[in-house]
Structure 1
Amino acid sequence: MKVVLAAIHPAPSPQAVPLANAFLKAYLGTDEELAARVAVTLCDFLRSTPADVCAAEVLAHEPDAVGFSLYLWNTEESARVAAELRRKRPGITIFAGGPQATADPLETLTGGGYDFLILGEGEVPFLEVTARLADGRPFRGAPGTAWLDDGKLASRPQKPVALLDTIPSPFLSEIIEPGRYGGLLWQLSRGCDFACEYCFDYKGTKGVRRFSLERVDAELDFLVRNNVPQVFVLDSTFNVDAQRAKTILRMIRKRAPHIHFHFEVRSEFLDREMARLFAGITCSLQIGLQSADPAVLKGIRRHFDPGDFQKRVALLNESGAVFGFDLIYGLPGDSLACFRQSLDFALALYPNHLDIFPLAVLPGTPLAARAAKAGLDHLPAPPYALVATPTFPAPDMKRAARLAGACDIFYSRGRAVAWFNGVIASLSLTPAEFLDAFGGWLERQGLETREEALGDEAIWLLQRSFLAHIFADRRVRRLLPLALDLVDYHYHYAAALLAPPPELPTDRSLAGLNILDQVMCLAPSTRLARFSYEITDLLEAGNADLREIGACFSPSPSWAVIYPRGNDIFTESLLESYFLLLEGLDGCRRAGDVVARLALPGEEAAEFLEFAAAEGIVTVRNCS
Structure 2
Amino acid sequence: MKVLLVGVNAKYIHSNLAIRYLKAYTEELNYDCETIEFSINDNIERVVADIIEKKPSVLGFSCYIWNLEYVEMIANTVKRIDENITIFYGGPEVSYDGKGFLENNVGEFLIEGEGEETYKEFIINKLREYNGETIDWSIINGLYFKEENKVKYSGRRNLMNMEQIVFPYEENEDLENKIVYYEASRGCPFNCKYCLSSTFHGVRFLDIERVKKELKYFIDKKVRLVKFVDRTFNCNEEFANQIWNFLIENHCDTRFHFEISADLLRKKSIKTLSKAKVGLFQFEVGVQTTNDNVLANINRHVNFSEIKEKVEELKGLKNIMQHLDLIAGLPGEDFQSFKKSFNDVYKIGPDELQLGFLKLLKGSPMTLEAEKWGMKYSQYPPYEVLLTKDISYEELRVLKKIEHMVDKYLNSGKFNNIIKYFDNISKFESPFDFYYQLSRFYDNKGYFKRKISSQDYYKVFLEFNEEYLKENSEFLRELIKFDYLYFNKKRGLPNFLSAENDKVMERKIKDLLVKDEKIKNGNEIHIIKFKYNMQEYLNLGNIKREDFYLAFYNEKDGYMTVENYY
Is 1:109 matched up with 2:102?
yes
Q: Distance in 2 between matches of 1:74 and 1:448?
A: 24
Pair 1:515–1:277, CA change in 2 (3 A)? closer
Pair 1:248–1:530, CA change in 2 (3 A)? farther
1:239 corresponds to which residue? Answer: 234
Q: Distance in 1 between matches of 2:349 and 2:256?
A: 20
Q: Which amino acid aligns with 1:169?
A: F
Alignment of 1:246-265 (within 5 A): 246-265=241-260
Aligned with 1:90 (options 80, 83, 90):
83
Taking structure 2 as the reference length, what is the TM-score of the superposition?
0.86
Q: Secondary structure at the match of 2:336?
A: helix
Q: Distance in 2 between matches of 1:46 and 1:166?
A: 29
1:178 corresponds to which residue? Answer: 174
Q: CA RMSD in A?
A: 3.0
1:557 corresponds to which residue? Answer: 547
Q: Distance in 2 between matches of 1:152 and 1:135?
A: 21
2:117 corresponds to which residue? Answer: 124
Pair 1:355–1:193, CA change in 2 (3 A)? same
Pair 1:463–1:257, CA change in 2 (3 A)? farther
Q: Secondary structure at the match of 1:373?
A: coil
1:201 corresponds to which residue? Answer: 197
Pair 1:557–1:185, CA change in 2 (3 A)? same
Tell me if the contact between 1:252 and 1:281 (Cα under 8 Å) persists in the aligned partners.
no
Q: Secondary structure at the match of 2:66?
A: coil
Alignment of 1:510-521 (within 5 A): none
Q: Distance in 2 between matches of 1:353 and 1:428?
A: 24
Tell me if the contact between 1:198 and 1:366 (Cα under 8 Å) persists in the aligned partners.
yes
2:323 corresponds to which residue? Answer: 324
C-alpha displacement of 1:495: 3.5
C-alpha displacement of 1:253: 2.3
Aligned with 2:20 (options 7, 19, 22):
22
1:48 corresponds to which residue? Answer: 41
C-alpha displacement of 1:143: 0.7
Is 1:214 matched up with 2:212?
no
Based on CA coordinates, which of the two structures has the bigger radius of gyration?
Answer: 1
C-alpha displacement of 1:411: 1.9
Unaligned runs of 5+ residues in structure 2 are 130-134, 491-513
Pair 1:72–1:278, CA change in 2 (3 A)? farther
C-alpha displacement of 1:386: 0.9
C-alpha displacement of 1:221: 1.9
Pair 1:576–1:536, CA change in 2 (3 A)? same
Pair 1:538–1:138, CA change in 2 (3 A)? same
Q: Distance in 2 between matches of 1:237 and 1:107?
A: 31
1:168 corresponds to which residue? Answer: 166
C-alpha displacement of 1:263: 1.9
Is 1:134 matched up with 2:127?
yes
Pair 1:80–1:42, CA change in 2 (3 A)? same
Pair 1:208–1:519, CA change in 2 (3 A)? closer
1:376 corresponds to which residue? Answer: 375
Pair 1:464–1:123, CA change in 2 (3 A)? same
Q: Which amino acid aligns with 1:78?
A: V
Aligned with 2:222 (options 213, 227, 245):
227
Q: Distance in 1 between matches of 2:278 and 2:423?
A: 31
Q: Secondary structure at the match of 1:195?
A: coil
Q: Distance in 2 between matches of 1:486 and 1:568?
A: 17
Q: Distance in 1 between matches of 2:187 and 2:452?
A: 36
Q: Secondary structure at the match of 1:318?
A: helix
1:613 corresponds to which residue? Answer: none
Tell me if the contact between 2:409 and 2:419 (Cα under 8 Å) persists in the aligned partners.
no
Q: Secondary structure at the match of 1:132?
A: helix
Pair 1:74–1:273, CA change in 2 (3 A)? same
C-alpha displacement of 1:52: 4.1
C-alpha displacement of 1:46: 2.4
Alignment of 1:302-451 (within 5 A): 302-320=300-318, 321-413=320-412, 415-416=414-415, 420=419, 423-429=422-428, 430-448=430-448
CA displacement, residues 30-85 of structure 1 (integer Å, 9 cap, x when unaligned):
xx3xx12x111101122233444333322323222111000111111111221222
Aligned residues: 532
Q: Distance in 1 between matches of 2:168 and 2:258?
A: 20
Tell me if the contact between 1:128 and 1:142 (Cα under 8 Å) persists in the aligned partners.
yes
Q: Distance in 1 between matches of 2:287 and 2:241?
A: 22
Q: Secondary structure at the match of 1:252?
A: helix
Pair 1:340–1:527, CA change in 2 (3 A)? farther
2:65 corresponds to which residue? Answer: 72
Q: Which amino acid aligns with 1:188?
A: A
Q: Distance in 2 between matches of 1:267 and 1:327?
A: 14
Q: Distance in 2 between matches of 1:535 and 1:68?
A: 54
Q: Secondary structure at the match of 2:182?
A: strand
Q: Distance in 1 between matches of 2:340 and 2:465?
A: 23
Alignment of 1:502-581 (within 5 A): 522-523=523-524, 526=525, 528-541=527-540, 549-550=541-542, 554-563=544-553, 568=557, 571-574=560-563, 577=566
C-alpha displacement of 1:94: 0.8
Is 1:12 matched up with 2:22?
no
1:510 corresponds to which residue? Answer: none
CA displacement, residues 579-603 of structure 1 (integer Å, 9 cap, x when unaligned):
xxxxxxxxxxxxxxxxxxxxxxxxx
C-alpha displacement of 1:576: 7.4
Q: Distance in 2 between matches of 1:400 and 1:78?
A: 30
Identity of aligned residues (%): 23
C-alpha displacement of 1:460: 2.7
Q: Which amino acid aligns with 1:560?
A: L
2:262 corresponds to which residue? Answer: 267
Q: Which amino acid aligns with 1:559?
A: Y
Q: Distance in 2 between matches of 1:528 and 1:461?
A: 22
CA displacement, residues 490-515 of structure 1 (integer Å, 9 cap, x when unaligned):
44443459xxxxxxxxxxxxxxx999
Q: Secondary structure at the match of 1:427?
A: coil
1:286 corresponds to which residue? Answer: 284
Q: Which amino acid aligns with 1:396?
A: E
C-alpha displacement of 1:151: 4.7
